[in-house]
Amino acid sequence: MEEVQQENKMGVMPINRLLITMSLPMVISMLVQALYNVVDSMFVAMIGEDALTAVSLAFPIQSLMIAVSTGTGVGINALLSRSLGEKNFKEANRAANNGVFLGILSYLAFALFGIFFSRIFFETQTNDAQIIQYGTEYLMICTIFSLGIFMQITFERLMQSTGRTIYNMITQGTGAVINIVLDPILIFGLLGFPKMGVAGAAAATVIGQTVSMLMSFYFNEKKNVEIKLRVREFRPNAKTIRNIYAVGFPSIIMQSISSVMTFGVNKILLMFSSTAVSVFGVYFKLQSFIFMPIFGLNNGMVPIVAYNYGARNKKRIMDTVKLSTILAVGIMLVGVFIFEVFPEQLLKLFNASEQMMQIGVPALRIISLSFVFAGVSITVVSVFQALGNGIYSLIISIVRQLVIILPVAYLFAKMIGLDAVWFAFPISEIASILMALLMFRHMYRQKLADL
């Protein structure tokens, strides 16, 4: 107990070293995750462009699962870190146990969706029988066996809240490596395994997630001394759940909007060809190499900001925000350079046809213009979440991905053509960064100025 009562490193370690210590394991693990995403699609592309299109059309549902799990995790993280900053260990344990309960409920909802609505989801988007068949097989496996992803993220957020992110790097990295190794084995039937095709890619994904879940649970039990998960003592607590979702629900909605945006953009692109959908799917896989480090950085930043807000230390909060923004912009500038200079090489990783190259090269170059603006916006939005202002994040996301991007993309598609659709992305990011900075100034005056 004496060890627990000592000041957590988030309140005393120099900010530069603390942010790197907290974020670097997450950045590395997320880069490994991004590598898995790309490798997964590369193997699927070897089956054929229809298979790649099917997986791309399934992406909004996979994104929605991640939105629910990570959004809930944001709420758990903010409440838990704030409770630890206030030395309220009873509330911290209550937040952890209720977070696990919410993760299980979320899994059950998506499993039911997978059983009853997978085929219907694809039939609403395309009439191509092959794409529908591929997509239904893939999505059913990813949803019915999704307990791994929900509980993995929940357990990793508990570790993150207490500053033990090194274990998250181990669990995520191990799961991703298992996924990468199993992809060719299960897709193409190597080493005596049956040839499963697209279903093999889904199976490799859920096996990797399940291994990560088991490892995360083990590390929480053995290494996370500040939190105790006790099934026998668990009781759903309405107040704690409300507090988790006060921050987490806007985050869920915010990230779910990304799924709606992806679904909408896919529908717009299908006005031109299924190849355009494949290009958009490839873009999402590639941009994860740029965006995942930003998310890892912000995952390290959120508990630092939340902890020091609970401890009423304004200087440490602002130093963390400034450093995070500088690092985010630097990462995004690297991303812009790669997408502008090497689009052909990136697309060739996915066996791109001549038509896919014609659509994809301008698409990657145009969309990448939005990266730097997105880096700042994502950082500011994470600060809102850490300080309990999740509603600000929600407003920014709605404006950026529903109010702006879909109408602009649709109008450009109708009035100009396919190449113009991609300009909707930088236009929406410019609008969102202006709104984010205005809201941050307002929030600073309300919550931070008088600390």
Per residue of the chain (451 residues), give pLDDT as tens.
444 444 567 677 888 888 888 888 778 877 877 887 788 889 999 999 999 999 999 989 998 999 899 889 888 888 887 887 777 778 788 888 888 899 999 999 999 999 999 999 999 988 899 999 999 999 999 999 999 999 999 998 888 777 777 888 789 889 988 999 999 999 999 999 999 999 999 999 999 999 999 999 999 888 877 777 777 667 788 888 998 888 888 778 877 888 899 999 999 999 999 999 999 999 988 998 899 889 888 888 888 888 888 888 888 899 999 999 999 999 999 999 999 999 999 999 998 889 999 999 999 999 999 999 999 998 998 898 888 777 787 788 788 888 899 999 999 999 999 999 999 999 999 999 999 999 999 988 888 888 7
Count of structural domains, the chain: 1
What is the CA angle 118-119-121, rounded to 5?
Answer: 70
**Domain range enclosing 117:** 10-448
- Contact partners, residue 67, CB within 8 Å, separation at least 6: 252, 254, 255, 256, 258, 259
The CA distance from 61 to 255, in Å, is: 12
pLDDT at 220: 87
Nearest one of 35, 106, 18 to 303, comparing CA atoms? 18
* pLDDT for the residue numbered 3: 45
What is the rounded CA–CA span in Å between residue 407 and residue 389?
27
Whether the CB-CB separation of 443 and 385 falls below 8 Å is answered with no
In contact, 259 and 71? CB cutoff 8 Å: no
pLDDT at position 6, please?
A: 47
Looking at the domain assignment, is residue 339 inside a domain?
Answer: yes
Cα distance between residue 263 and residue 267, in whole Å: 6
CA pair distance 150, 420, nearest whole angstrom: 37
- What pLDDT, on the 0 to 100 scale, is given for residue 8? 64
pLDDT value, residue 2: 43
Does the residue 4 lie in any domain?
Answer: no
Q: pTM above 0.85?
A: no
Distance from the first to the final alpha carbon of the chain: 29
Residue 126 structure tokens: 């395309």
**Assigned token pair, 249:** 């629900």
Helix (H, G, I), strand (E, B) or coil at 192: coil
Question: Could you tell me if residue 3 is inside a domain?
Answer: no
| Cα–Cα distance, 421 to 279 (Å, whole number) | 13
Q: What percentage of the chain's residues is helix, strand, coil (to nearest 5)?
A: 85, 0, 15
CA 78/CA 307 separation, integer angstroms: 8
pLDDT for res 7: 55
Whether 5 is in a domain gets the answer no
The number of residues in the chain equals 451
